[in-house]
Amino acid sequence: MTRLGSLILYATLGTGLSACGSNGTSSKDPLEFVPLDNDVSGWLVDTSAAKTPGARAMTATTESEAVGLIDGGAAPFFKAPFTPKMFLWQNYFNNSLPAAPPPDGAYLILYIWEMPTADQASELYGALLHESEYSGNWEPTSPTLGTESRIEDTITAWWINFHQDVFYVEVMLGPSFGPASTGYAPSNPDLKNEAMRFAQAIASKI
């Protein structure tokens, strides 16, 4: 399943590079990076979309487990030489944003990939631009998140990618789909700032 495919799933539920470098793995627990309710004010975990109820995040430690979560969307992360150690996924909703008012509000999808080295995280960040799903109109974020970061206005959502230490992170914020989502304005700068605020909260923990 592609990233956009995972967004549709959310709604229905309510390259070749050089081998990795030698820098060591992180001692940080990526589960600690995953916000709980209101850790980023206004954002609540969407338990209705969870595949593992009660868990802080949906996780995978093997390619088959990642495929079980996001189907075809996992493939680019396991292309040689990439060997992820862990994948984490959580969904959020927010009904308090003026730019995405109730009853629809806004959703947010968080992906965190823990790679074996910082070099692999950096190389993955670059390699993904060769994948069709990532061939958009990316711009550097301001300020920079982590070591490198970019943002794209997909028209239907704001999509942020960044890497820091051994972690590669994606944040996508868009409208909650329902019978009517007329309150959501594509390309809204306030929602861009909100996506940045959430992503900065993750980066500050890494």
Domains of the chain: 3-12+47-203 (3.40.1000)
Q: What percent of the chain has pLDDT over 90?
A: 68
Separation between Cα atoms, residue 109 and residue 171, nearest integer Å: 6
pLDDT over 60 (residue 13):
no
pTM, to two decimals: 0.86
By C-alpha distance, which of 120, 142, 148 is closest to 195? Answer: 142
Residue 98 CB contacts under 8 Å (≥ 6 apart), including other chains? 190
pLDDT band, very low/low/confident/very high, at 51 (cuts 50, 70, 90): confident
What is the pLDDT at residue 104? 80
Averaged pLDDT of the chain: 86
What is the pLDDT at residue 184? 65
H/E element, 197:
helix 189-203
What is the pLDDT at residue 68? 92
Work out the angle at residue 152's Cα, subtended by the Cα atoms of residues 150 and 155, and round it to the nearest 5 degrees: 170
pLDDT band, very low/low/confident/very high, at 50 (cuts 50, 70, 90): confident
Residue 184 CB contacts under 8 Å (≥ 6 apart), including other chains? 99, 100, 104, 106, 174, 175, 191
What is the pLDDT at residue 179? 46
Side chain identity at residue 42, one-letter code: G
pLDDT over 70 (residue 132):
yes
pLDDT over 60 (residue 3):
no
What is the pLDDT at residue 54? 84
E strand intervals along the chain: 44-45, 58-60, 86-94, 106-114, 139-140, 148-153, 158-164, 167-175
Mean local confidence (pLDDT), 70-91: 94
pLDDT band, very low/low/confident/very high, at 72 (cuts 50, 70, 90): confident
Can you tell me whether residue 175 is helix, strand or coil? strand
pLDDT over 60 (residue 22):
no
H/E element, 120:
helix 118-127
Q: What percent of the chain has pLDDT over 70?
A: 83
Cβ atoms 34, 98 nearer than 8 A: no
Mean local confidence (pLDDT), 118-147: 97
Mean local confidence (pLDDT), 69-73: 86
Q: The tokens 């794209």 sit on which residue?
A: 152
For the beta carbon of residue 180, count every other beta carbon within 10 angstroms: 8
Q: Convert the pLDDT of each residue in 147-173 to its tens digit.
A: 999 999 998 899 999 999 999 999 999
Pick the residue with more confidence: 104 or 128?
128
